[in-house]
Structure formats: C-alpha cells, structure tokens
Amino acid sequence: MKSLNLQLRFLAPLVATLVVAAYFALPLMDRLTLRWFARDLNSRGSLVTNALSDSIADALGDSRDARLQTLFDRAVQDERLFAIGLCSLDGTMLRRSGSFPRTLDCKQAQAAADLPEPRLRLAGGAVHVGVHTVDGETGPIAKLVLLHDLSFIDRRSQDTRRYLLLFIAALGLTIALITVVVAQLSWRGWMSGVRGLLRGEGLLRPMMASAEMAPLAAEIRARMRDLEDEYRRAQGPQTNWDAERLRALLRTQLQGDQVIVVSNREPYIHEATAGGVVVRRPASGLVTAVEPVMRACSGTWIAHGSGSADRTVVDRHDRVGVPPGRDEYLLRRIWLSPEEERGYYYGFANEGMWPLCHVAHVRPVFRESDWEHYRNVNQRFADAVVEEARSEDPVVLVQDYHFALVPAMIRARLPRATILTFWHIPWPNPESFGICPWRREILEGMLGSTILGFHTRFHCKNFIETVDRFLEARIEHEHSTISFKGDETLVESYPISIEWPSQAQQAAWPPAPECRRRVFERMGLPADTCLALGVDRFDYTKGILERLHAVERLLEKRPEWIGRFVFVQVAAPSRSLLEEYQTFQERIARLTQRINERFGHSNYRPVHLLAEHHEHDAVTELFRACDICVVTSLHDGMNLVCKEFVAARDDEQGALILSRFAGAAREMTEALIVNPYHVEETADALHRAATMPVAEQRERMASLRMTVRENNVFRWAGHMLTDAGRSRLRERIEARVQSHQAA
Ligand code: G6P
C-alpha cells in the first residue's frame, strides 16, 4: 500500500503533464494542418485554373456556349472540389456549377478569399474559398472562384487527433510502467539503504544485496564517518568554552531539547541539624563536573535523595528547584529503602563495580542479592526518566557505574532518546572485567547508549576489547563504534574537567598570602613551614596510604625537613558503612599517629589528618595557602582535585605532584608526575616540589592553568552534546526518510 501511494505520487504529475501537453498541442495541430491544406488547395486551385483557362477563354466569346457548364459540372465531381464559379473582372457572376451556392456572389467570394483563413461556413459544412485569375492571350480575362470541400480536412484532423491522443496515452502508459518498475527497484533499495546507512549497518545489507555494490556501500559509509571524525578533530583546539556557549549549543544543535541527568549522588543534600535544615554539597568529582553543566542547561536531574531532610523540601512529585534560592534546574529525588541502598549502592556498585574497575588490589565482592537490587534500582531510575521526559526523544545523561543497566532500560521505553552515558571511573582490561558474573548484562545495558564516554582513549580501548571478548557485536575500530542488536554506540573519550572560576568569584577570594596567614594561624604553623596538602574522599583508590609513606620517607631521608614540613590530609568520609572503607580509615589514622610519634615534637605534628567534610570555600582557602598539592591516586578516571588546585592559584605559585595513574596526568604534564607505588620516587618529588624555585613554579603553574581553563567542563559537555546533536540529526534524517516512504 505504501509503495502504491508512492508510485501514485510519481505518476500524478506525469499524467497531469501529458494532459496539459495534449490540451495545448491539439488546437495547435489543428491550425497547422489547416494552414498546410490551405496552401495545398491554393496551388491545386492554380493548377485547375491553368487547366481550364483555354476552355474558359474560348467559351467566354460565346454567351450561349454550354461547354463551360458541362466542364464545371464534371470538375466538381472531384470529391474535394465542391463548386466552381466564373466571375467577370468587374465582379459579375458569369457561370457556376450546379453546386455553387446561389447566395454567394463574386464580391463576397473575393472578400472571403482575402481573409487569412479563407473559409466560409455553408449549410453543408465549411468550404475553402480560392479566387484565381484566368489569363487570356492579352492578359486577365476573368476570375475563377473555387470552393473546396473542407470536410475531408476535418475528418483528417479528427483522425490525427485520435492518433495523437492514442500516442500520448501509449507514451504515458510506457513511462508510467518504467517509472513504477524503476521506483520499485531503486526507491526501495535506496531508502532502505539510507536507513541502513544511518543505522550504521552500511548500505550493503538492506539496499543492495548484490556483492558488486558492497565496496561502494563500504566506501560511502567510511566517508561519512571520516567526515564526522574530521569534524570532531576540528573541534579539538576550540577554546573559550563557557556556560553561555554551551547554552547556545543547546539552543542550536539540540533545538532546546530537554536534558535529563541521572546519577546516584545528588548535587545538593538537605541535612537536618540542631540549627535547622542545612544544604551540603557532596564530595564527588561527578557532582563537581555535572552541576555547572546542569545550571547552564536547566532540565531535570534525577538522583538518590540521601539527605536526612531531603523529603521535607520536595514537592508532591519529589522535585525541588536548585541551587537553593536560585532554582536554575529541577532535582527529582528517588527514595531508596535501606535494603535497596545496601544492595545496590554499597553492595553491587561499591563492593563490586568500584574495585572491579579500579583494579586497586581490593577484591571485588559479587553477591546475587546485591545484583537483584542493582537491577531493580536501575529499573526505578529508568522509569523515573520516562516519567520526567516531556518528549519521545529527550537527551539523557546517564552518570557512572551505578547505572550500567539504565541505558538499555531507557532505550526499551524511549527508543528515540539520545542517551549519553559517562563512565567517571576507569574501565579495566577484559581479563579483570571478566570476573564479573554479570558481565554480559552490564555490557548489554551500557550498549543501550547512543554515546558512551570515558575520560581517556585507553579506557575506551579497554571497553571495546571487553565487548569484543564477551559479546557478539560488530566493532568498527576506525570509528570507535559498536553495533549491537541493531543499535550503534559511539565509544569516545571526553576528558572531564571543572568550571573555571569566574572573574567575580576570583575577585571574592582573599589574596593567597591572606589565606596562608589564616590557615597557618588556625593550625599553629610557623611561617617558614612548607605546607603540603592532599584533598580526597576517604577512599583506598586515592593512594593516601602511599603518600603518607612518602612523607615518612622524606623525613627519614632528609631530616632537615623535620619541624619544617607539614602534610595536611583532608579526607571526606565516604561509604563508611563498608568494612573495607572502615578498615582503610583506621589504617590511615594509625599510620598518621605513627609518623607523628616518630617525627613530631612539642608543637610539631608532621601529618594533620582532617577526616571530615569540607565545603568548597574551605578547600579553596587550603589550596591557596599551601606550597604543594599531592594527588597520588592508585587508579583514577580523571581526578578533579588537581584541576581545582590550579584553578585556585591565580598567584601562579605552588607545585603539583600528580599520579601517572590518574587520567589528569595525560593533560597536566607540567606537574611532577609520580608512580605512587614507588615510595622513594614520591618522597623525592616532595623534596623537589618543596625546593622548587618561584620562577619554575610560576612557569609550570601558568601552563597548567591555561590547560585547565581551556579544557574546562563546558568543553567536556560541549563536545559530548555536539556529538549527541549530530547523532540526533542523523536520526531525524532517517525519520524523515521513513515518513516519506510511509506517506
Ligand atoms: C566518584 C564516583 C562518583 C561518586 C563519587 C563520590 O567520583 O565516580 O560517582 O559520586 O566518587 O562517591 P559517593 O559514593 O559518595 O557518591
């Protein structure tokens, strides 16, 4: 039925064209035939006149001569010559055949013959009038009026008309047949080819099964991908990403489509305290990065409502406008029972996936009951996305290892959604990942994404190799895409970052020496102390133990630092319900105590452990006060602490020590890069940083600041959303092609 409609669409204009052609061509053809025949009749008339002129000249001498009458009557037996009349030069009718109309005199005949179309309509039909001069020996002697029957012309004209109509009809039919056949073959083939191409299946399968078209199909597809890759590369050096530019991108490339974020950790936590409800910002790299993006995009952020006063501030749809007082976007809270939280968050996500992906020598634990909770909670979040979606094709940003199954779950309910999943933690090699009992389910869930983002190419490569090992999927390494069950996922690296502080924010900071004075005073440090700082969640992946060993080794190796070197570790308690984390925190506390006992004296404590949550401003003050920032993660997707540190140092002072196992080490190459497992190396780096000349600090810091300012979080989001916009454009073209075909 669809293709019949389609062909009718093709044929209707064709038929209309032929009808219009016939409408104009037929009268034109009539006129032309008439003109040709008139010319024929005139020359025929001249012939007849010449043939009769001698007889006429003879007969004119004898008025009683009956020969002319007989001659005329014989001549009109010709079926086309209707009548003959003979006029004198002064216009008197001298003789006429019996068929010559009595009402027609010589003058009227002459007037009719002078018309451009010399025709007369008589009772019997139309006649052609020709008046020819009869020449005698001395010149013109009379005029011969010949009336030719035109009915034969009408007959011929009708015949021609019939033939022409038949010809046009036959032509139309032939063209229609050819059109139908060609349309059937090529339209069907091309359309499904285009669809296949857009789906990334290539033209080969649906469009042209013929083997000879395969190279062409592959070539076109590769070219399209190349163009996209080129475009993406061209985006590389673009600078000046900010909230406004991201907003503009949303308006143009995503046409203001709705953006929904899904994460476990919420950006604002309402806590009940003795002094009333307070709002806390969690220590989470994810939140640090995604929150400014969300402020720029508006939209809805769906997250676990984990604060003790969270329920008291939401509306009846469990939504609350945030940031508090500014209401720039909506936070939709999902409530989890203690069992759900235990199984999904603490259990599967943080005892299973977290150590699995970090490969930080903590054994992952997989429990069947945790997996059940993980699946159910993932389904609840996916359902919430469907509830919040105002259209069939929202842009959904799924965050992190808590929601590996959510992309496919959303895809099942909103097939046209653009799903961007960002994996904030590392992805291990296939061997390490292979120990997960539900590895297939996890991978299949993630491949529901339109785009799957990791911080580094290395993690993308690990993921693609893992899929290759455990799933039957088509992988295109060149373009970094995976096609699974008819859907294509682009696996791409998007290094995450921070929001670069605005001029106003920077202006509000107390000057760095002032921050230093306040911090030193609060901690009772002598002014010449070298202050090193670590700021982390209290997590075994952060290498806190290793850095304390390095501090201890520094004091051992270089006793001149005893009394002059202080290391402050801010450690925000995290996942403390888990035994692994409790044990870790206890170990750190014990080691701190040991180092302090070993090297401390009277007022001097080489290690200060601040195991409590610090708000952003307090952390900024510490960053601005210290001499060295130490980031020694054993494995980290990116690590934003090092970026926050350089952003806080507008005085271009301070040294950064950075683990080579943090994603950030790939772009922040001016830091002192260390292997945290190598205690000696880190101890040396501490010494080197503590003695780094001011000029070198400035040089390194200025370069680091430029990198982070350019590669800020809006650029991260901008690149992902640009890729999403391109993917949506492709989907829309495909939808349009399909609707054309359906119409
Ligand atoms: C890492 C994860 C985030 C998480 C954060 C804090 O950065 O990638 O998803 O939010 O740690 O951990 P928490 O368990 O407290 O949310």
Is residue 5 exposed (0-12), middle (13-18) or buried (19+ Cβ within 10 Å)?
exposed
285 lines ligand 1 (CB under 6 A): yes
Condensed to tens digits (0 to 9), the pLDDT of residues 547-594 reads: 999 999 999 999 999 999 999 999 999 999 999 999 999 999 999 999
Ligand 1 nearest atom to the CA of residue 282, by list position? 15
Measured in angstroms, how far is the CA atom of residue 104 from the centroid of ligand 1?
113
| DSSP-assigned letter for residue 665 | G
Residues 6+ apart with CB under 8 A from 377: 336, 340, 343, 344, 345
pLDDT, residue 496, reads 98
The helix/strand count (H/E) of the chain reads as 25, 23
- Residue ranges of the alpha helices (H) in 534-662? 544-557, 579-599, 616-625, 641-648
109 phi, psi to nearest 5 deg? -65, -45
Cα of 81 to ligand 1 centre, how many Å? 109
Higher-pLDDT residue of 157, 214: 157
> Ligand 1, residues 268, 301, 400: which to mutate, most atoms within 8 A of Cβ?
400
pLDDT digits (tens, 9 = 90+) for 487-518: 999 999 999 999 999 999 999 999 999 999 99
Q: Would you give the distance in Å from CA 534 to the centre of its chain?
A: 41
426 touches ligand 1 (CB under 6 Å): no
Q: What is the mean pLDDT of residues 203-216?
A: 50
Per-residue pLDDT tens over the stretch 305-344: 999 999 999 999 999 999 999 999 999 999 999 999 999 9
Residue 119 has pLDDT above 70, yes or no: yes
Identify the residue whose C-alpha is closest to ligand 1 atom 11. Answer: 284
Task: Verify whether ligand 1 is closer than 6 Å to residue 267 (CB atom).
Answer: no
Q: What is the mean pLDDT of residues 264-268?
A: 98
Cβ of 306 less than 6 Å from ligand 1 = no
Distance 287 CA to ligand 1 centre (A): 8
How far is Cα 321 from Cα 326, in angstroms, rounded to an integer?
8
- Cβ–ligand 1 distance for 542 under 6 Å, the answer no
Contact of 14 with 172, CB cutoff 8 Å? yes
Buried b (16+ CB within 10 A) or exposed e, 61-71: eeeeeeebeeb
Start-to-end CA distance of the chain, whole Å, equals 10
d(CA 108, ligand 1 centre) in Å: 111
Could you give phi then psi for residue 236, rounded to 5 degrees? -45, -65
Ligand 1 atom, smallest distance to 263 CA: 9
- Is the minimum distance from the CB of 700 to ligand 1 under 6 angstroms? no
On the question of pLDDT at 193 being above 90, the answer is: no
Which H or E run contains 673? strand 672-674
**Cα atoms found within 13 Å of the Cα of residue 395, Cβ hemisphere only:** 26
Cα 195 from chain centroid (whole Å): 15
Residue bearing tokens 């940003």:
397
3-state secondary structure 704-728: HHHHHHHCCHHHHHHHHHHHHHHHH
Ligand 1 proximity of 575 Cβ (cutoff 6 Å): yes
Question: Whose alpha carbon is nearest atom 12 of ligand 1?
Answer: 284
**Of 146, 170, 3, 131, nearest to 82 (Cα)?**
146
Q: What is the DSSP string of 251-302?
A: HHTSTT--EEEE-SS-S-EEEEETTEEEEE----HHHHHHHHHHHHH--EEE
Any ligand 1 atom below 6 A from CB of 424:
yes
Q: Is pLDDT at 196 greater than 50 in this prediction?
A: no
Q: How many CB atoms are located within 10 Å of the residue 461 CB?
A: 17
- The DSSP letter of residue 197 is H
Ligand 1 midpoint to CA 537 (Å): 9
Check whether the bond before 323 is cis (ω within 30° of 0). Answer: yes
Residue 284 beta carbon below 6 angstroms from any ligand 1 atom: yes
Q: What is the mean pLDDT of the chain?
A: 88
Q: 266 C-alpha vs ligand 1 centroid, how far in Å?
A: 10
Q: Is 592 in the pocket of ligand 1 (CB under 6 A)?
A: no
Does ligand 1 come within 6 angstroms of the Cβ of 574?
Answer: yes
Handedness of CA 656, 660, 663, 669 (dihedral sign): positive
Q: Is 101 in the pocket of ligand 1 (CB under 6 A)?
A: no
- Per DSSP, 499 falls in state P
What is the 338 CA–ligand 1 centroid distance (Å)?
Answer: 19
Residue with the bigger pLDDT between 624 and 148: it is 624
**Which pLDDT belongs to residue 342?**
98
Burial 14-27 (b: 16+ CB within 10 A, else e): eeeebeeebeeebe
> Ligand 1 mean position to 404 CA, how many Å?
15
Q: How confident is the model at residue 266 (pLDDT cuts 50, 70, 90)?
A: very high
Between 110 and 686, residue with greater pLDDT: 686
Beta carbon of 286 within 6 Å of any ligand 1 atom: yes
633 lines ligand 1 (CB under 6 A): no
Ligand 1 pocket test, pick from 537, 540, 636 with the greatest ligand atom count within 8 Å of Cβ, gives 537
Residue 39, Cβ density class (10 Å: 0-12 exposed, 13-18 middle, ≥19 buried): exposed
Does ligand 1 lie within 6 Å of residue 400's CB atom? yes
Give the model's pLDDT for residue 136. 81
Kindly give the number of the ligand 1 atom that is closest to the alpha carbon of 424.
8
Ligand 1 atom closest to the CA of 537, numbered from 1:
6
CA–centroid distance, 350 to ligand 1, in Å, is 9
Please write the tens of the pLDDT for every residue from 28-62.
Answer: 777 777 777 777 777 878 887 887 787 787 777 77
Would residue 121 be called left, alpha or beta, if left means φ above 0 and alpha means ψ between -120 and 50 degrees? beta
Strand blocks (E) in 392-503? 395-399, 418-422, 451-454, 474-476, 481-484, 487-493
3-state secondary structure of 697: helix
DSSP 150: -
Best CA proximity match to 528, nearest among 653, 630, 627? 627
- Percent of the chain predicted with pLDDT > 90: 64
Question: What is the number of the ligand 1 atom nearest to the C-alpha of 400?
Answer: 9
Distance CA 705, CA 643 (A): 8
Give pLDDT, residue 212: 59
Ligand 1 neighbourhood includes 662 CB (under 6 angstroms): no
Minimum CA distance residue for ligand 1 atom 3: 286
For residues 141 and 595, which has the higher predicted lDDT (pLDDT)? 595
Question: What tokens appear for 138 in the block?
Answer: 């001395």
- 59 C-alpha to ligand 1 centroid (Å): 129
Cβ neighbours of residue 629 closer than 8 Å, sequence gap 6 or more: 532, 533, 534, 535, 623, 641, 642, 645, 654, 655, 656, 657
CA gap 441, 482 in Å, rounded: 16
Instruction: Decide: 304 in ligand 1 pocket, CB within 6 A.
Output: no
Q: Which has the closest alpha carbon to 414: 387, 378, 445?
A: 387
Q: Which residue has the tokens 């399209």?
A: 224
Pair 34, 153: CB distance under 8 Å: yes
pLDDT value at 211 more than 80: no
352 C-alpha to center of ligand 1: Å?
14
pLDDT in tens, 372-398: 999 999 999 999 999 999 999 999 999
The predicted model gives 518-547 an average pLDDT of 98
Q: Picking from 192-206, 218-232, 453-467, which range would have the lowest pLDDT averaged per residue?
A: 192-206
Residue nearest atom 15 in ligand 1 by C-alpha distance:
574
What is the distance between the alpha carbons of residues 60 and 89, in angstroms, rounded to a whole number?
A: 12
Q: Is the CB of 444 under 6 A from ligand 1?
A: no
- Counting from 1 in the atom list of ligand 1, the atom nearest the Cα of 283 is 6
User: CA-CA distance, 533 to 657, in Å (whole number)?
Assistant: 10
Which ligand 1 atom sits nearest the alpha carbon of residue 399? 9
What gap in Å lies between CA 290 and CA 311, rounded to an integer?
A: 23
Q: How far is the CA of 718 from the centre of ligand 1 (A)?
A: 22
Nearest CA, atom 5, ligand 1: 284
* Residue nearest ligand 1's atom 8 by CA: 424
